Amino acid sequence: MFWTVLVTVIVFGGVFAAWAAMQSMMNAFFDDMPQPPVSVATFDARAERWSGRLEAVGTLAAVNGTDVTTEAGGVVQKIAFEAGQPVTAGTLLVELNSAAELANLEALEASAELASVQAERWRSLGAERLVSQAEVDERATQAATARAQAESQRALIAQKRIRAPFDGELGIRRVNLGQYVAPGEPIVSLQSLDPIFLNFTLPEQELGSVREGMAVRAMVDSLEGREFEGTVTAIEPAVDPDTRNFRVQATLSNPDRLLRPGSFARVELEVGGERDVVVIPQTAVAFNPFGNVAYLVVPAEQGEAGADGDDAEGPALIARQRFVTTGRTRGDMIEVTRGLEPGDTVVNGGLLRLRNDAAVVVNNEVQPSADEDPRPANR
């Protein structure tokens, strides 16, 4: 038994020792194995003069827009409008059946008239001191109560005549003759189209450059080639803590009613004169929570990671990480306010495979888009 156990331990010990030695040699091989250079596309940072133009996207909204509804329920007796019809404030739209309310109003008006006559009579008797002043006051109160009840009934009847609350354009009606309409149920949409609001957001860095009265231009996809002008009329005083953006509202003239609430719009604002900027494509920036990074392509010095000596075309190249501060964007380009100088070569394609000081090979046969005014074609 002793020799059997001894032989077993020696055999299995040798197997495990050989396996550990192989693993150690394999790890050492992979640790020392040179990384192949990464093929990247590059772009030379350039200096340009940009005007102080801000770009944003927004949504059109009616100055006044609502679903017309009713405060009192009833059966639709009359529809006095056509779908899509422009109306003015106070125009009768729908009338609900109010026969019972009208009959009740007549009874209340008769009671109010009688109460008024009795109150006047008791007032005369009180002046002659034939009745007490308390009885005179009681009759006057009864007359006032009767009149108030009649006025309340008139208000209820008025609620059954639904009118346009403001000037605008009607949508598609949602009720039919003979249909019972409950309080709060929508009857038709009413939108005021001229003028019209344009709501959009801007980053908090632009809070000091935007003010009321600034001119804006808006473009919508449904009206390609047309621009609509307006002015900034309101700026939200608070910044959204989730997005770090603040809301801006502009008012646009819309006499032809071409702009419709809910439409998407592109917005441009001129906030200052021209200035010198350093620009690179947005694809050259890695946006990270800890900071924005660009990779500079520089010659590798002897002894650095990725340096294999000189070749026929010159020294080997490496990608060196550089933290940058970015500013405004224009199309595919982005402004770099700190971290780069004009002429610096940055990696424009292949960032996902890079690490700091990684060896790179420049291949600019395929370049990502870098246009200040991109116009992609429909395919």
Evaluate whether residue 147 is within a structural domain: yes
Residue 315 maps to a domain: yes
Cis amide linkage into residue 376, ω under 30° from 0: no
Cα(139)–Cα(322) distance, integer angstroms = 91
Q: Could you give the 3-state DSSP secondary structure of residue 138?
A: helix
Displacement of CA 344 from its chain's centroid (Å): 36
Q: What is the CATH number of the domain that holds 178?
A: 2.40.50.100
List the structure tokens of 216: 């804006």
The pLDDT averaged over each successive group of 10 residues in the chain (379 residues) is 85 85 78 73 88 84 90 88 89 86 81 82 77 80 85 83 90 90 90 91 86 89 85 91 91 89 88 80 87 89 49 65 86 88 90 84 80 68
Residue closest to 370 by CA, chosen among 336, 332, 339? 332
Same-domain check for residues 310 and 354? yes
Residue range(s) defining the domain that contains residue 256: 55-64+191-273
User: Distance between CA 198 and CA 217 in Å, rounded?
Assistant: 10
Q: Which helix (H) or strand (E) holds 41?
A: strand 38-44
**CB-based contacts of 176: which residues, under 8 Å, 6+ apart?**
76, 79
Residues 342, 278: contact at Cβ < 8 Å?
yes
Same domain? For 329 and 288 the reply is yes
- Edge-first strand order for the sheet with 86-87 is 65-68, 188-191, 168-170, 86-87
Q: Are 245 and 204 in contact (CB under 8 A)?
A: yes
Q: Is the Cβ–Cβ distance between 280 and 258 less than 8 Å?
A: no
Extended strands (E) in 285-363: 286-288, 291-299, 310-311, 314-315, 317-330, 333-338, 345-349, 358-362
Residue 190's pLDDT is what?
92
Using the 8-state DSSP alphabet, how is residue 312 labeled? Answer: T
Strand partners, 59: 199, 264
Report angle CA 159, 160, 161 to the nearest 5 degrees.
Answer: 90
Q: Indicate whether 30 belongs to any domain.
A: no
In the β-sheet with 92-96, what is the strand arrangement from edge to edge? Answer: 161-163, 92-96, 74-79, 180-181
Both 255 and 332 in one domain: the answer is: no
Euclidean distance between CA atoms 207 and 54, whole angstroms? 12
Q: Note whether 293 and 299 are within 8 A (CB).
A: no
Q: CA-based angle 127:133:135, to the nearest 5?
A: 110
3-class state of residue 305 by DSSP: coil
Q: Kindly report the length of the chain.
A: 379
**Judgement on whether residues 247 and 294 belong to the same structural domain of the protein:** no
* C-alpha–C-alpha distance, residues 254 and 227, integer Å: 11
Residues 6+ apart with CB under 8 A from 77: 95, 96, 97, 98, 177
Q: Do 70 and 162 form a contact (C-beta atoms < 8 A)?
A: yes
In terms of domains, do 304 and 227 share one? no
Number of domain units in the chain = 4
- The helix (run of H) or strand (run of E) holding residue 21 is helix 2-32
Q: Residue 240: which CATH number?
A: 2.40.30.170
Is there a single domain that holds both residue 180 and residue 82?
yes
In a shared domain, residues 334 and 237: no
Residue written as token pair 């790890």? 27
CA distance 62 to 190: 10
Nearest to 360 by CA among 35, 83, 118: 35
The pLDDT, as a whole number, for residue 152 is 83
**Shared domain check, 122 and 105:** yes
Query: What is the CATH number for 128?
Result: 1.10.287
Q: Are residues 45 and 59 in the same domain?
A: no
Compute how many other C-beta atoms are within 10 angstroms of the C-beta atom of residue 136. 18
Residue 8 within a domain: no
Nearest to 257 by CA among 213, 222, 232: 222
245/260 same-domain check? yes
Same domain, 185 and 74: yes
Same domain, 341 and 353: yes
DSSP code per residue over 142-161:
HHHHHHHHHHHHHHHHHHTE
